[in-house]
Amino acid sequence: MFLRLLTYVLASVVTSQAVNVCAWTNNIACSGSSFCCNSLGANNCCMNVPAGFGVSISYDGLPGPISAGQAWTSGNCVAGAIDVAQAGTGNKCFVGGGGVKAGSMAWTHAPSKREATPIEYATPDTFNFEVDGVAKAIKIPATNGAVELVAELFWAGNFTALLAFESAD
């Protein structure tokens, strides 16, 4: 009985762990502006990262004993795997090269790449940017086209419209 209870508790801990995964505009140490999927569970896909983002990718809160972050050039965590595999625990930053940008991201508990189809799909739920040197974070509504709208407003420099979104600070 004790062994079954211990197995259940350990399984619950492993499945409840989540990581904040962000796609950045700058290849210098995960900096610039970013779209993030917060509290992303293991083997879940943060999909449809807008064009111009994903130059570098951060994985914040990778659980132990060892985890690995992954990325793909496609928007669905399937085609175009980028050799990220940031193995370890804690916070990791992958800086791409050669102009390759991630369109989707995930993480796994194993130190190797995920082979299976994602369990669930998520779209970015926050956007981080700066206005006049001040860091800002907004929540992205879970509505169709919201991520693309936020990206369009950012590239157009329409910070007034971006600041009208609910703050994530």
DSSP code at position 27: T
CATH number given to 18-122: 2.60.20.10
Region of 43 on the Ramachandran plot (φ > 0 left; ψ -120 to 50 alpha; else beta): left
Cα separation of 69 and 30, whole Å?
14
Q: How far is CA 18 from CA 46, 96, 108, 161, in A?
A: 12, 23, 10, 30
Helix (H) or strand (E) holding 54: none
- Phi, psi torsion values for 41, nearest 5 degrees: -75, 160
What confidence score (pLDDT) does residue 4 get? 39
Predicted confidence (pLDDT) per residue in 43-82, tens digit: 899 999 999 999 999 999 998 878 888 888 888 888 777 7
Mean pLDDT of 147-158: 98
Kindly report, as residue ranges, where domains of CATH 2.60.20.10 are found in the chain.
18-122
Whether the predicted pLDDT of 156 surpasses 60: yes
> pLDDT value at position 9?
34
Q: What is the pLDDT confidence band of residue 115, given thresholds at 50, 70 and 90?
A: low
CA-based angle 102:106:111, to the nearest 5? 115
Task: Encode burial over 50-72: b for 16+ CB neighbours within 10 A, e otherwise.
Answer: beebbbbbbbbbbbeeebbbbbb
* pTM for this predicted structure: 0.84
Query: Residue 94 — pLDDT band, cuts 50, 70, 90?
Result: confident
**Average pLDDT in the chain:** 84
Give yes or no for residue 92 having a pLDDT over 60. yes
